Chains A and B, each alone.
Chain A
Amino acid sequence: QVQLQESGPGLVKPSETLSLTCTVSDGSISNYYWTWIRQPPGERLEWIGNIDYTGSTNYNPSLKSRVTISVDTSKNQFSLKVDSVTAADTAVYYCATGAGWLPVYWGLGTLVTVSS
């Protein structure tokens, strides 16, 4: 079964770039869609976007101008960058994957706080 683990700084300053990496084990990164989802405190889960094995990306329009998702097949990792963060970007960030757009396997999530 595919396992995913998010990693990255837990604290980011306002206006800076949030960067997270998801490491995939027990599965090839070349065969699936790779997704980022977040949940701000007290709010619902929010789909950020995904990338497929060809490198084609899809983003939530609400975040599209600030988000980049990329994949490094040599390291079995995919990454998320969110530019110009504010307190509203404070959330638990999840990476997830599935054979299509449906996220089947999820990581445990990592809390990122935006604060000076």
Chain B
Amino acid sequence: EIVLTQSPGTLSLSPGERATLSCRASQSVRSSYLAWYQRKPGQAPRILIYGASSRATGIPDRFSGTESGTDFTLTISRLEPEDFAVYYCQQYGSSPLTFGGGTKVEIK
């Protein structure tokens, strides 16, 4: 199975700053089938990005995803107060689907 390694584990930033989250896959992800989710306490996980770089419906354009080989990046260009949460990457190109361990973006 594909192992996804997210870094850093925690990112301490201030509103307005840029956040860069990394997700590295142990092998190639078929068809760039890599998604990013946001999860806040008491809420259902929300999909942000699919296909490595396509924003899901209703997701602000401050969220962007890129891919370079087996390295995937989620960038939040300017953090808004509502963006402080835990972010997960997931590959859905091969079974079993797998998730990264998560990156917590916290207020500095």
- The CA-CA distance from A102 to B95 in the complex, in Å, is 11
Whether A108 contacts B92 by the Cβ 8 Å rule is no
Whether A60 contacts B99 by the Cβ 8 Å rule is no
Shortest distance from the beta carbon of A93 to any chain B beta carbon, whole Å: 13
Whether A106 contacts B44 by the Cβ 8 Å rule is yes
Residues of A within 8 A of B (CB): 4, 44-47, 58, 60-62, 94, 96, 100-109
Whether A47 contacts B42 by the Cβ 8 Å rule is no
Q: How many residues of B contact A (CB 8 A)?
A: 21
Residues of B within 8 A of A (CB): 33, 35, 42-47, 50, 56, 88, 90, 92, 95-102
Note all chain B residues with C-beta closer than 8 A to A61.
96
Whether B45 contacts A94 by the Cβ 8 Å rule is yes
Whether A47 contacts B102 by the Cβ 8 Å rule is no
Note all chain A residues with C-beta closer than 8 A to B90.
45, 103
Point out the residue from B35, B43, B96 that lies within 8 Å of A47, measured CB to CB: B96
Whether B43 contacts A45 by the Cβ 8 Å rule is no
